[in-house]
Amino acid sequence: MHVLSLRRRDRHGARTVRPPTGPRRRRGRRASALGLAVALLSSGLALGALAAPAQAAARVENPYAGATPYVNPDWSAKASAEPGGDAVADQPTFVWLDRIAAIEGTSEARGLRGHLDTALAQGADLVQLVIYDLPGRDCSALASNGELGPTEIGRYQSEYIDPIADILGDSKYASLRIVTVIEPDSLPNLVTNAGGTEGSTEACATMKANGNYEKGVGYALASLGDIPNVYNYVDAAHHGWLGWDSNLVPAAQEFKKAATANGATVDDVHGFIVNTANYSALEEPHFKVTDTVNGTTVRQSKWVDWNQYVDEKTYAQGLRSVLVAQGFDSGIGMLVDTSRNGWGGAQRPSGPGPTTSVDAYVEGGRVDRRIHAGNWCNQSGAGLGERPSAAPASGIDAYVWAKPPGESDGSSKAIDNDEGKGFDRMCDPTYTGNGRNGHNMSGALADAPLAGHWFSAQFRQLLANSYPPAGDGGENPGEPGDTRAPSVPTGLTVSGTTADSVSLTWSASTDDTGVAGYDVYRNGVKAGGTSTTSYTDTGLAASTSYRYTVRARDAAGNVSAASSAAPATTQASGPGGPSGLKAQYKNNDSAPKDSQIKPGLRLVNGGTSAADLSKVTVRYWFTKEAGATAFSTSCDYAQLGCSTVKSSVTALSSARTGADHYAQVSFSSGSLAAGADSGDIQLRLNKTDWSNFDESDDWSHGTGTSYADMPRITVYVNGSLVFGTEP
């Protein structure tokens, strides 16, 4: 949300629990027994199907996978009313419960039940909420101060969390996956702003001393974690706050402390979110933290300032590893708020800066155009970022719009209000800064309203500077050069389905400079892109309904409005055998550049009938690199028995992305019952000269050390693809 905290070396009650209905269940991603894991995986194959309101949704690894997210009509109407706003008004955003009154609703916005009821009416099965009303809230930023005083932990529990838990626990909403972001900024403030450094505040020291942030977060995690269809994500600030060596591990330790406070356990945490309501770039494409200029590392540049991360994607992935090392489940996933970190428009660099000095190199190439990475309030020049999407990168559950674009970060001058929100000079465009932003100008927009209120000028700027660009079917304010989007694709038709795929065709769009390609959306989330007028969406669940739309884009990045929707339902059984087979994978080799590849495989039958294993093959796709062209393969262990497992390596006639060979696994005999899995299969392959591989860019390679679905490992029945995506 806000503050960049300087590195430490140079700057910086009793819980009332509702009576349980049975033994406290394990809420983590790992099941407590293999049978439970198989049952959940089997249920998870129908993620896209809409359940009856009273039917409980099966707990899944990634709540965003295959989901239809709720679009908040309150936000959507405001976005649509702005010029060009229709281009993004259908995006799912989080609902902020930032005061007790927001639970019941106000004259300007519906309450929690209203949102949940509207989600059901929309046919959505995923709702996103921000839980944000701790006592002494946001001790380092006055703009987002809250209504509860530092000691009012009792009110927080009984008047805020308990009513939310009661509503979310209503069986009427059991079919919804409910994602919660728990208390932005709270725990990071305890790490960096409560210890007497230049960026510290007395209010943060008070909250660290009384422990009410940790007690409140723990109570929220435990209370909401008791609800089977709630997925808790804890806020983890951003790389420009916690990315330094001196902050990263202490932050993970603080998160662990809060996650085991006041009745909570680490199993109440499904994952973490970074960049909430902030502006840090998702990726810096023109420089890496490992780059050097004339012998000086990028870490020594003024902008990076010895941070070990330069963007949110690498920070999220790096922090995830640190969190697992602290005792969080190895299956935790990360979210990244990309609502306002696109940084497009005319000021976006197209390449690296000059190599005359490390500062020139970074300053000229960085896409994050803030004056200082510590600036957090209504930033001038910002743009919309990546649209919400599921599983966009390793270890990341989704890119999300946690902060609804167009909602102010804070007022640019003092405004009387009854919401407990103060005036923070970091929202004043004339402010010359403080220790947290290196005493630089604030970079804030003028004439901003209270935090959370609609800020039309900000929304228009975000839309104009969107990256990827947001087309509106006409003139897109602020974009240079070609600003006209292609025509809307027409005639979207489902041309075929299998148990795990849907094939689509449509009529070509037109554009004044030419159509560059098309983006295909499944249930409102981008599934892929193509340069032709047809597309096959693979890796789907059997007997499941989906909804597709298509948008056209041109070379300038202008994007059309969405086509009319085409519904599709996958078949109940795949060609040549039963549906529901899928591959799971874990990495049994922590050294990606040694002489062996050691995949762990598990075959899962989530279908309704037994699978004849003699008809099943599995392919692991990889690149050979230099060295011998002959291979040896081995089965080190198989629960089915290595005598039934056959393996071989085949060279592709032409190289593909991430693969020029595949290792094929087949079975001499056996049957896999519905709802069962094959158990562990530990494989190994090497070149006959034992030369090294480089697995880091291999199509099927992953870094997870516990079994999880792997769509880049393909499964076939009688030679027909039934799971996964080939390179």
Question: 239: closest CA among 577, 5, 480?
Answer: 5
The pLDDT of residue 483:
62
Average pLDDT over residues 688-707: 91
The pLDDT of residue 566:
87
The pLDDT of residue 5:
36
Residue 384's Cα: distance from chain center in Å? 16
Neighbouring-strand partners of residue 649 = 663
pLDDT of 10 higher than 70 = no
The tokens for 606 are 């989530």
pLDDT, greater one: 702 or 196:
702
Single out the catalytic residue among 125, 138, 660, 709. 138
The pLDDT of residue 56:
62
Give pTM, 2 decimals: 0.62
How much of the chain exceeds pLDDT 70, in percent? Answer: 88
Average pLDDT over residues 228-246: 95
How far separated are the first and last CA of the chain, in Å rounded? 38
Question: 682: closest CA among 635, 640, 644, 622?
Answer: 635
The pLDDT of residue 36:
32
How much of the chain exceeds pLDDT 90, in percent? Answer: 60
At 249-308, the pLDDT tens digits run: 999 999 999 999 999 999 999 999 999 999 999 999 999 999 999 999 999 999 999 999
At 31-88, the pLDDT tens digits run: 333 333 333 333 333 333 333 344 566 789 999 998 999 999 999 999 999 999 999 9
The pLDDT of residue 578:
45
Average pLDDT over residues 632-636: 93
pLDDT of 571 higher than 80 = no
The pLDDT of residue 482:
58
Q: How confident is the model at residue 572 (pLDDT cuts 50, 70, 90)?
A: low
Average pLDDT over residues 601-609: 87
Q: In whole angstroms, how large is the CA radius of gyration of the chain?
A: 26
Question: 406: closest CA among 478, 457, 465?
Answer: 457
Q: How far apart are CA 36 and CA 611, in angstroms?
A: 20
Question: 652: closest CA among 614, 698, 586?
Answer: 698
Question: 186: closest CA among 165, 203, 199, 168?
Answer: 203
List, in order, residues 6 or more apart from 53 with CB less than 8 Å away: 120, 172, 173, 174, 175
At 113-125, the pLDDT tens digits run: 999 999 999 999 9
Q: How confident is the model at residue 577 (pLDDT cuts 50, 70, 90)?
A: very low
Average pLDDT over residues 301-324: 95
Determine the 3-state secondary structure of 722 from DSSP.
Answer: strand
The rounded mean pLDDT for the chain is 85
List, in order, residues 6 or more apart from 85 with CB less than 8 Å away: 78, 79, 459, 463, 472
The pLDDT of residue 179:
98
The pLDDT of residue 103:
97
The tokens for 292 are 């050097």
pLDDT of 472 higher than 60 = no
Q: How confident is the model at residue 485 (pLDDT cuts 50, 70, 90)?
A: confident
Average pLDDT over residues 707-720: 87
Q: How confident is the model at residue 675 (pLDDT cuts 50, 70, 90)?
A: confident
Q: How confident is the model at residue 477 (pLDDT cuts 50, 70, 90)?
A: very low
At 375-431, the pLDDT tens digits run: 989 999 999 999 999 999 999 999 999 999 999 998 999 898 887 777 888 899 888
Is 409 designated active site? Answer: no
At 83-101, the pLDDT tens digits run: 999 999 999 999 999 999 9
Total residues belonging to the chain: 727
Q: How far apart are CA 501 and CA 499, in angstroms?
A: 6
**Number of Cβ within a 10 Å radius of residue 302:** 11
